[in-house]
Structure 1
Amino acid sequence: MKAATLASVVSLASAAIAAQLNLIKEYAGSSFFDDWDFYGHWDDLNNGNIIYVNQSDSASLAYVTPSGNAVIKIDNTTTVPNNDPRNSVRITTKDFFEIGTIWIMDVVHAPYGCSVWPSIWTKGTLWPEEGEIDIIEGVNLMTYNQMALHTGVDCTMPLDNTDQTGTALLSNCNTTSGCTVKENTPNNYGAAFAQNGGGVWALQFDVSGIFIWFWQRGNVPASVTAAITSLDADTSSWGKPSASWASSSSCNIAQHFQAQQMVMDITACGDWAGVPSIYGSTCGNTTTNACYLNNVVGNGANYDTAYFEVASIRAFSANAATSNATSSGSAGPAATSSGASSGASTATSTVTTTPAAGTGSTGASGGTGSGAAALVTPVSLGVAVGLVSLLSLLML
């Protein structure tokens, strides 16, 4: 009898692991910008030479292309005089996403170029105590994406991590740079990423850890390509993640990370891209203010490649779909699209509230966000609880 019960436990556990996650939020198509807040302030977080526009001024910098992809960009058409900043975009989701969420992001083009500092990342309400996850980030003419976690004190990750394909660079998550991982998959950043038609990222935010996968165009797993209204919770077919930060005694993920908002932004120069030695390492000039004077000032042609083009961002969890999680019908993450490097298009309608203060990778200010959290039960936790409950019956 006990053997039969144990077999039932194994069967139920297998079914739970193979369960479908539900779409809880989709950013795609003409409604892409509807549930984001525009920052509407100068870049006081990373000290970039940028003004982040508000929604009412964003028509030429945040819009949806005729093919249905969302674009945010640095202004590449205005002539900026010396001592002035250039306009750009920073947007933050109105919703928070709890532990147990998997995001799938299909990105056709990511910003690059001298002085350019783009990022797609997530943050908790309080920084860094409630955590930050950097999914896409780089500066200037870097050829690789750099992923990272940022936390409060007492969170370290191993440098000799064989559970990821990326290379761990720093282990202490409570430093300015965080615990960073270099992406090693080909065509993952910069001009090579753009020329290859972009790629797809997955971020798993779980009690067992935080994991990021990247697939270049053409190598996206079938289960990810099919993820429109639901996602297979079994990630075993995805291969090793690019970055793996497993929860452990040296960093308990559930203690260091709370519900996260997603942020997309592009700044120029600032505390990373504008450091003379860093700027000069790929852009060839280490003199003071070279980053600003050689790029931000002038007619803006240097920013023709400084834009994100995103086909879709979808969030999945074990919970039932929220009321605003209906699919737009957009294709899954295998789709490609035409470019949108310059010129203005008709912007989608957007909703602006008081901007949520936040932080970039090197920022130091926290803030609050708006919108209700999408509450999620982690799949791994749900399986564990179910197993404990069922196994306890065997002891009766």
Structure 2
Amino acid sequence: MSYRNDRNAFGGGPASFAERPPAYSSPSYARGDRASHPPKYAAVNTSTPRDFQNRPRSKRNPKTWSRKCWIILAVIVVIILIIVIVVPVVVTRHSRYPDYSALTYSLAATYSGTTFFDKFDYFTGYDPAAGFVHYVDGPGSAALNLTYASPSSAVLRVDISDTDTTTGRKSARITSKETYDSGLFIFDVLHSPYGCSTWPALWLSDPSNWPTNGEIDIMEATNLAPVGNQVTLHTTNHCSMGVKRKETGKALKSNCLNATDGDSGCGVRGNTASYGEEFNSNGGGVYAMELRDAGIRVWHFDRDSIPSDITTSTSNTTDVIPNPSTWPEALADFPSTNCNIGDHFRNQSIIVDIDLCGQWAGQSTYFNTQSGCPGTCVDYVSNQPGSAYKNAYWEFGSFRVYQAS
């Protein structure tokens, strides 16, 4: 029977101590036998200071960080320093721009009227640009009407006669006797040459020291000039235009070094009305170029938007002093940020020519593809009558050169 149901199971009365059931007790173990008999609360942390290094490290306490953590922290700090120090320097460098503050100019030279060509030398001999052309000297150009001037304009053109052209057609190239290291140049252009095989240009350079003393192409195009005018610099090393610029034209290349990209230079292209048939239909216009230590800038003004301080052969104003700081944004901007203008451009003459074929116009890319001219450039020059060159002429109102005091 159960003890629970029969209190008197051990004699009917109060049980004696001897007669009571044995007490429930825990198994006995020796004090030193803790390994085999752990205490009831074995989960209590009994670690000693010797076990401290095995505890989990606190992420908040730098003293407990591992070497790997310190390396990661150092890398992060370096990256932050680069961002804080280098990035502002790069941004500042990219945003650099020269001081184009106004200069005080005065008129230094005028090329106009019947004496226009008296101030130029005529180039003769082999064409430096490998053109299919014969450049004629002064008397010969006058005799063939390749160059002539009136009180209101001066004309330079390609020969339009039907003489034998199997070795090239006659044309003219002139170089100003005066040279310039700086200045503001105003070119009043009434008509620009165009036509298959033509490569006309109006530029400044030192032909005897090219490319050391640089080249500034103010107006240049090829064949039918379907893409408009191109303004270009050609230099020796250390002149580039991958910098901040303020211009309305389309930048084509940034490296001005003559030896790169087939001597393409660092060019800027205008719109279709900046040269050729459309330019001529608008009555021509004015190109202005400022050459100074701060940089080189070239403006194109349509005939109906010429600033009032520019004197032209078609204006009624007396000679006033132009101020480029009041003009709209330039077509082409070549700042001195990464190009020492004074070192790269010296002893500049004004040069005008109409080349035929040559290293640029003669390429099929420009002769056939871009302008749609037939056959090859040399064959065209050899076989076409003079009437094919009826639009191949420059007509200038005047050139004016201003120097800063």
TM-score by length of 1: 0.70
Distance 1:297 1:42 in 2: 21
Q: Tell me: CA distance 1:221–1:230, structure 2 relative to 1, closer, same or farther (3 Å).
A: closer
CA distance in 1 between partners of 2:401 and 2:318 (Å): 10
Name 2:367's counterpart in structure 1.
279
| Alignment deviations for residues 90-112 of structure 1 (CA, whole Å, 9 cap, x no partner) | 0000011122x000010000100
Instruction: Name the CA shift for 1:113/1:285 in 2 (closer, same or farther; >3 Å).
Output: closer
1:156 partnered with 2:240 = yes
CA distance in 1, matches of 2:371, 2:164: 20
Residues 1:231 and 2:321 aligned together: yes
Match of 2:17 in 1: none
Distance in 2 between residues matched to 1:23 and 1:315, nearest whole Å: 6
Q: Partner residue of 2:334? A: 245
Deviations 1:106-159 (A, max 9, x none): 00001001111000000134111111000000001123100100100111112x
Structure 1 position 222 matched with structure 2 position 304 = no
Instruction: Using the TM superposition, give the Cα deviation of residue 42 of structure 1 relative to its aligned residue in structure 2, in angstroms.
Output: 3.4
Please give the residue correspondences for 1:280-319 in structure 2 after superposition, counting only pairs within 5 Å: 280-284=368-372, 287=375, 290-319=376-405
Alignment correspondent of 1:111: 193
Distance 2:368 2:318 in 1: 43
- Per the alignment, residue 30 of structure 1 pairs with 114
Q: Distance in 2 between matches of 1:31 and 1:216?
A: 26
**Partner of 1:95 in structure 2?**
178
Which consecutive unaligned segments of at least 5 residues does structure 2 have?
A: 1-100
* Residue of 106, 121, 126 corresponding to 2:203: 121
Whether the 8 Å CA contact 2:245–2:333 is kept in 1: the answer is: no
Task: Supply the distance in 2 between the matched residues of 1:225 and 1:54 (Cα, whole angstroms).
Answer: 31
Can you list the C-alpha shifts for 1:16-62, whole angstroms capped at 9, x where unaligned? x666421111100011011100002232x111111110011011100
- Corresponding residue for residue 147 of structure 1: 231
- Give the aligned residue type for 1:278: Y
The aligned residue for residue 266 of structure 1 is 354
Distance 1:237 1:61, change over 3 A: same
After TM superposition, give the deviation of residue 79 of structure 1 in Å.
Answer: 3.0
Alpha-carbon contact 2:185-2:288 (below 8 Å) kept = yes
SS at 2:274's partner residue?
coil
Percent of pairs with identical residues: 38
SS of equivalent residue, structure 1 residue 58: helix
Q: Equivalents in 1 of 2:371, 2:335: separation in Å?
A: 36
1:218 aligned counterpart, secondary structure: helix
Give how far 1:313 is off: 0.2
Q: Distance in 1 between matches of 2:382 and 2:399?
A: 30
Q: How does 1:1-396 map to 2 (within 5 A)?
A: 20-43=104-127, 45-59=128-142, 60-65=145-150, 68-82=152-166, 84-99=167-182, 101-124=183-206, 125-143=208-226, 144-158=228-242, 161-174=244-257, 175=260, 176-184=263-271, 187-225=273-311, 229-232=319-322, 234-248=323-337, 250-284=338-372, 287=375, 290-319=376-405
Q: Please tell me the residue identity of whatever aligns with 2:250.
A: T
Structure 2: how far apart are the matches of 1:253 and 1:228?
A: 32
Which structure has more RCO (C-alpha within 8 Å, separation ≥ 6)? 1
In structure 2, what residue type is equivalent to 1:119?
A: A
Shift of 1:300: 1.3
What amino acid is aligned across from residue 254 of structure 2 in structure 1?
Answer: S
Deviation by residue 1:336-386 (Cα, 9 ceiling, x = unmatched): xxxxxxxxxxxxxxxxxxxxxxxxxxxxxxxxxxxxxxxxxxxxxxxxxxx
CA distance in 1: counterparts of 2:384 and 2:336, whole angstroms = 47
Q: Distance in 2 between matches of 1:34 and 1:286?
A: 38
For 2:310, what is the secondary structure of its paired residue? helix
**Cα offset for 1:78?**
2.7
In the aligned structure 1, how far is the partner of 2:404 from the partner of 2:165? 51
Distance 1:296 1:242, change over 3 A: farther
CA distance in 1, matches of 2:189, 2:303: 10
Question: TM-score, length-normalised on structure 2?
Answer: 0.69
Q: What secondary structure is seen at the aligned counterpart in 2 of 1:97?
A: coil
Equivalent residue for 1:360? none
> How far is 1:298 from its partner?
3.4
CA shift for structure 1 position 228: 5.9
SS in 2 for 1:22: strand
Please tell me whether the aligned partners of residues 181 and 345 of structure 2 are also in contact (alpha carbons under 8 angstroms). no
Structure 1 residues 302-311 or 253-262, which shifts more?
253-262
Does the CA contact (< 8 Å) of 2:106 and 2:402 recur in 1? yes
